[in-house]
Structure 1
Amino acid sequence: MNLRLEFDGPVAHLLIDRLDKRNAFNMAMWEAMPGLLEQARADPAVRTLVIRSAQPGGVFCAGADIKEMLLHKDDGAWLAANQAAINRVQHDLARLTLPTVAFVEGDCVGGGCGIAIACDLRVATDKARFGITPGKLGIVYPLHDVKLLTDLVGPGQAKRMLFTGGLLDAAEAQRIGLVEMIADSPRGLLNDILSASPHSIREIKMFVRRVLDGQTGDDDQTLAIFTDAFMRGDFAEGAAAFAGKRKPDFNG
């Protein structure tokens, strides 16, 4: 399988495994990914999701399979279905209730970069490179993905990346806000995430998405979520751990 889930305790790893094609996504992969995201989300033991290459140190993803797209360039129905599949992946990934981390060890280009920016956080090794190349192919990047990119790096840097199609090294990607951390492993970040309340992370993630989607003030639902947290077991455990000067043991 070109995409698969592997589980390491509370961490689900979604592995991209099409190494002979530099992990480029074909139609079958775009169509398969929402089901894998849902499988990870539905598992009560899973607390976070990491997307990475199946090959340690390998290319993260070279983007969409351009050769496949060329084969279908005159098939309007196929192109529409392909775009719908890509859009669904990006929408579902950006709104997955689990915290998500892209671990990028090599090139992360085009649609691959889209997958990374749809995750909550990005950890890159110093060998990673990032680029978005529609301008070099005569195509247009999806509006949803342009927004994800602009939310991360601002309009000027987003235009720089999209207009030039150039590759950024890990240090430059971190400087402009495309990458949160440069590290040889995401393990330290994952441990920090796993030490926090899963309920807090889940609801705060959705609050951030509301802000990015344009909400600027509380509504009845967000006020209820805020108030309800004080009635939950995670607050009782967090408060008791704080008072007892120990690490909390959250269950979400």
Structure 2
Amino acid sequence: MTDGIELERDGEVARLTLRRPEKMNAISFGMWSAIPGIVADVERDPAVTVLVLTGAGTDFSAGADIGEFRDLRSSADGAATYDKAVEAAVAALASMRKPSVAMIRGNCIGGGCQLAVASDFRFAAEGSRFGITPSKLGIVYHFDSTRQLVSLVGPANARYFLLSGLLVDAVRAREMGLVNEVFPAGALEESTLDFVRTLGSRSQASIRGMNRIIEKIVAGQAEPDSEVDELRAAAVHGEDYAEGVAAFLERRPPNFTFR
């Protein structure tokens, strides 16, 4: 495993941990580069239903490791290579069929917030801080990450984050639409895992099909296409649909089998 990043599996849950607590989990080039392969492994693992992203210690992530920029982003070619690694990590997360949940403590800033926004859900502890800071570095933010941010918080709040570079607390982030839920710090882990267990109890055929359709809508697609039609037809003819209807009529919990 790449230094600074760790993947663990616990039953149906995979946990990707940014593990550089001495640097507030700043994301190195190697960590960015490792994320697509980790996500692909999670997607392929039939035992896993949900990916949880978090940070070791007191922070989610303070962002990209700026200390690398003088060496890795000092030329146009170097900047392009670095950006491709970031874009690939974001794209891998955003295109997952299995749901992803960012569990956030402390600082969630810059590239850390970029990873959180690329996830499907964001749960935060009280006292967490959020910000996206390209305007402090003379960087124009990545297009796909900007689109994802706008889809979450709207253009006015996206401008607030991107143009000002100011930080907001977890409560304000929830009001702006960036965060789904805010919990007391001591309750974050169990509250997040309770939601993860809820996701695991649902039809995975439904979850993955709907996640793909939402991805298409966020990307700007306005009408269904053949893939959407195929996803919906496969669901109607699948075992989960038959089980879901039977369980509802028999007033019992469903036993979904799709993996």
Where does the alignment leave 5 or more consecutive residues of structure 2 unmatched? none
Q: How many angstroms apart in 2 are the aligned matches of 1:9 and 1:123?
A: 21
What is aligned with 2:95? Answer: 95
Q: How many residues align?
A: 250
TM-fit CA distance, 1:5: 0.6
TM-fit CA distance, 1:38: 0.9
1:37 aligns to 2:43 (yes or no): no
What is aligned with 1:163? Answer: 163
TM-score by length of structure 2 reads 0.93
1:199 aligns to 2:201 (yes or no): no
Structure 2 counterpart SS, 1:24: coil
Picking from 188, 193, 197, the partner of 2:194 is 188
What is aligned with 2:229? Answer: 223
Contact 1:97–1:205 (CA<8 Å) still a contact in 2? yes
Structure 2 counterpart SS, 1:103: strand
Cα-to-partner distance string for 1:40-60 (whole Å, 9 max, x where unaligned): 1111100000000123xx110
Structure 2 counterpart SS, 1:59: coil
Q: How many angstroms apart in 2 are the aligned matches of 1:85 and 1:73?
A: 12
RMSD across aligned positions (CA): 1.2
What is aligned with 2:238? Answer: 232
Cα-to-partner distance string for 1:80-139 (whole Å, 9 max, x where unaligned): 111100010111110011100000011000011000000001000112110011112222
Contact 2:109–2:130 (CA<8 Å) still a contact in 1? yes
- Runs of 4+ in structure 1 off by over 6 angstroms are none
Structure 1 counterpart SS, 2:84: helix
TM-score by length of structure 1 reads 0.96
Q: How many angstroms apart in 2 are the aligned matches of 1:218 and 1:164?
A: 37
Query: Do the aligned partners of residues 224 and 33 (structure 1) sit closer, same or farther apart at CA in structure 2, a change above 3 Å counting?
Result: closer
TM-fit CA distance, 1:193: 0.7
Q: How many angstroms apart in 1 are the aligned matches of 2:143 and 2:81?
A: 17
1:104 aligns to 2:104 (yes or no): yes
Structure 1 counterpart SS, 2:130: strand
Q: How many angstroms apart in 1 are the aligned matches of 2:110 and 2:162?
A: 10
Cα-to-partner distance string for 1:179-234 (whole Å, 9 max, x where unaligned): 01112221121121111100100000000111111222222332232122121110
Q: How many angstroms apart in 1 are the aligned matches of 2:210 and 2:204?
A: 10
What is aligned with 2:61? Answer: 61
Contact 2:244–2:256 (CA<8 Å) still a contact in 1? yes
1:209 aligns to 2:211 (yes or no): no
1:130-169 paired onto structure 2 within 5 Å: 130-169=130-169
Aligned AA (1:99): P
TM-fit CA distance, 1:175: 0.4
